[in-house]
Amino acid sequence: MSSLDDNEALKLDNQVCFAMSVANRALIGIYRPLLEPLGLTHPQYLAMLALWEHSPCSVNELCELLLQDAPTMSPILKRLESAGLLTRRRSAADERRLEVELTDKGWELRELAPPVPVAVTKQLDMQIAELTHLRETLWRVIDAAQPKP
């Protein structure tokens, strides 16, 4: 924003954080009714997406995949376990390691999920290339915002 004068730089509509916050709420609002028939919230959906790719894995590995911390993930995993979609158990090799694995019911839910991203794309009325560019740009923002070692 160095090219904006002070008045322009402080306008709400010129804030990247504001646009991202509003876009996030709007996008989750689109997902909500699509995920309801699956019995999932948006955070649970993200966890299931990661597990459909990486089950079984440790809670720590799942946290890394989702860029979340364990205290945030714990209630999500408890609810998914209560719904019968996954199991959590201590590793036989290392008691400190908590492993997460999808159940048959968790894998079966995957069969119902493919229409979700299609419906989101359709509702946004954007081209795949636009959404791909947006996603890549957001990952650049995420990477840039990460603490540097």
Place of tokens 């364990």: 70
Cβ neighbourhood burial of 86 (10 Å; 0-12, 13-18, 19+): buried
pLDDT of 17-74, one tens digit each? 999 999 999 999 999 999 999 999 999 999 999 999 999 999 999 999 999 999 999 9
pLDDT in tens, 93-148: 887 889 999 999 999 999 999 999 999 999 999 999 999 999 999 999 999 998 88
From 36, 31, 23, 4, select the one nearest 122 (Cα to Cα).
31
- Strand runs labelled E in 27-130: 57-58, 86-90, 98-102
Q: Where exactly are the structural domains of the chain? A: 6-137
pTM: predicted TM-score of the whole model, two decimal places: 0.90
Class of domain 6-137: mainly alpha
Residue 66 tokens read as 């989702």
pLDDT of residue 78 exceeding 90 = yes
pLDDT band (50, 70, 90) for residue 2: low
Rounded to whole angstroms, the Cα distance separating 81 from 75 reads 10
